[in-house]
C-alpha cells in the first residue's frame, strides 16, 4: 500500500467532497476532448507543493531537490472530462500520467467486443506503466468523473531519474506494485466466492483512500455496479444481491453509490471464510 500523504488534518468527510474541493481550486485549464491535445498549465507545476507528492515521489528527496524538478518532471497538467479517454490501447507510449484529481477505469476489449475492466485508479496513482514494454498502450484509460492528470514525459523522467537515484528506485517500486496488484486481482478472481471478492475490494478501496488522507469508512463509488462486476468477474445481479446481503447483515449502509462500512471486522471475517 502506498505511503500516507502529508495532508495535515485528516478529518475529511469523504473522498467525493474533498476531491471536489481540490478540483474547484484549479484555474485556467480547459477540458480536453482530444486526449492527445496536451494543454499547458498557466504556471509551472511544482511537485514540491503538491498534496499528493508522497504518492508519486520518494520521501527521501529534500525540498530543494523537489523544487529542482519543477518544469522538468511534469510537462503539463491535463483535464479529462467524465467518459472521455486519457489514452487508448494501441496509442504510442511516450508519457506516464499521475492522477491529480478524479477517478479512472482501465479496460480492454475482448474478441467478442465486450469491455473488460482491469482496474480502477484514483488521485495519487500513476497510470500508463503498461506501455513501457511494448512502447504502446495496452488498455484504454477512461475517466469515471471529471479528472486532472499530470503528464510526465517518459524520456524526461528517465533523464531526471539518472540524476536522482531515489526517483529511479521509486519508479521501480511503482512498477513492482502494479505486478503485486495484478497478482492480487488474479487471487480474487481465481479463489474467492462473490462475497469474498466484494468484501476484499471494498476494504482495499477504503485503505487506498485512507492512505491519501480521506475517509476510510465513507466511500463514494465512482464505478457502476456493472463496471464493478466486470472487474470482479461477477454478474451485475450478483453484485447487487451481495451489496443487499451485506447491508442486511449490518456490514454496510448502502445508498446508491455511497457506501458506509459499518463493520470492517465483519468484512474481514467474510474474506477469512468465517461464519457471518
pLDDT, tens digit, 9 for 90 and up, residues 157-167: 888 878 777 77
One domain for residues 24 and 144 = yes
Indicate whether 21 pLDDT > 50. no
Q: What is the pTM of this model?
A: 0.75
Phi, psi values for residue 95, rounded to 5°: -145, 155
One domain for residues 158 and 64 = yes
CATH number for the domain spanning 21: value is 2.60.120.10
Q: What nine digits make up the cell of 125? A: 496513482
One domain for residues 165 and 194 = no
Give the SS3 label for residue 164: coil
User: What gap in Å lies between CA 258 and CA 268, rounded to an integer?
Assistant: 20
One domain for residues 198 and 90 = no
Residue 178 located in a structural domain: no
Highest mean pLDDT among 16-30, 32-46, 171-185: 171-185
Is residue 86 within 8 Å of 141, Cβ to Cβ?
yes
User: What gap in Å lies between CA 192 and CA 144, rounded to an integer?
Assistant: 27
Q: What nine digits make up the cell of 179? A: 505486478
One domain for residues 159 and 196 = no
pLDDT tens per residue across span 108-163: 998 888 899 999 999 988 899 889 888 999 999 999 999 999 898 898 888 887 87
Q: Give the contacts of 132 (CB within 8 A, at least 6 positions apart).
A: 93, 154, 175
Amino acid at each position: 500500500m502506498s505511503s500516507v500523504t502529508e495532508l495535515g488534518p485528516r478529518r475529511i468527510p469523504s473522498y467525493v467532497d474533498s476531491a471536489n474541493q481540490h478540483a474547484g481550486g484549479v484555474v485556467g485549464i480547459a477540458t480536453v476532448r482530444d486526449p492527445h491535445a496536451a494543454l499547458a498549465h498557466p504556471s509551472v507545476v511544482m511537485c514540491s507543493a503538491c498534496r499528493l507528492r508522497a504518492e508519486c515521489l520518494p520521501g527521501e528527496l529534500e525540498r530543494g531537490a523537489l523544487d529542482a524538478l519543477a518544469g522538468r518532471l511534469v510537462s503539463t497538467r491535463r483535464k479529462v472530462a467524465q467518459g472521455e479517454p486519457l489514452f487508448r490501447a494501441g496509442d504510442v507510449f511516450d508519457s506516464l500520467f499521475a492522477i491529480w484529481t478524479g477517478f479512472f477505469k482501465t479496460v480492454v476489449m475482448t474478441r467478442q467486443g465486450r469491455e473488460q475492466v482491469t482496474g480502477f485508479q484514483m488521485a495519487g496513482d500513476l497510470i500508463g506503466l503498461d506501455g513501457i514494454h511494448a512502447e504502446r498502450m495496452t488498455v484504454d484509460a477512461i475517466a469515471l468523473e471529471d479528472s486532472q492528470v499530470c503528464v510526465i514525459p517518459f524520456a524526461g523522467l528517465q533523464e531526471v531519474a539518472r540524476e536522482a537515484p531515489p526517483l529511479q528506485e521509486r519508479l521501480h517500486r511503482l512498477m513492482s506494485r502494479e505486478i503485486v496488484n495484478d497478482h492480487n486481482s488474479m487471487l480474487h478472481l481465481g479463489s474467492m466466492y462473490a462475497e469474498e471478492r466484494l468484501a476484499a475490494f471494498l476494504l482495499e478501496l477504503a485503505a487506498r483512500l485512507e492512505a491519501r488522507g480521506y475517509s476510510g469508512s465513507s466511500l463514494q463509488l465512482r464505478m457502476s455496479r456493472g463496471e464493478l462486476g466486470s472487474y470482479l468477474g461477477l454478474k451485475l445481479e450478483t453484485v447487487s444481491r451481495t451489496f443487499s446481503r451485506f447491508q442486511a447483515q449490518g456490514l454496510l449502509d448502502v445508498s446508491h453509490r455511497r457506501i458506509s462500512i459499518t463493520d470492517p471486522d465483519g468484512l474481514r471475517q467474510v474474506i477469512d471464510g468465517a461464519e457471518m
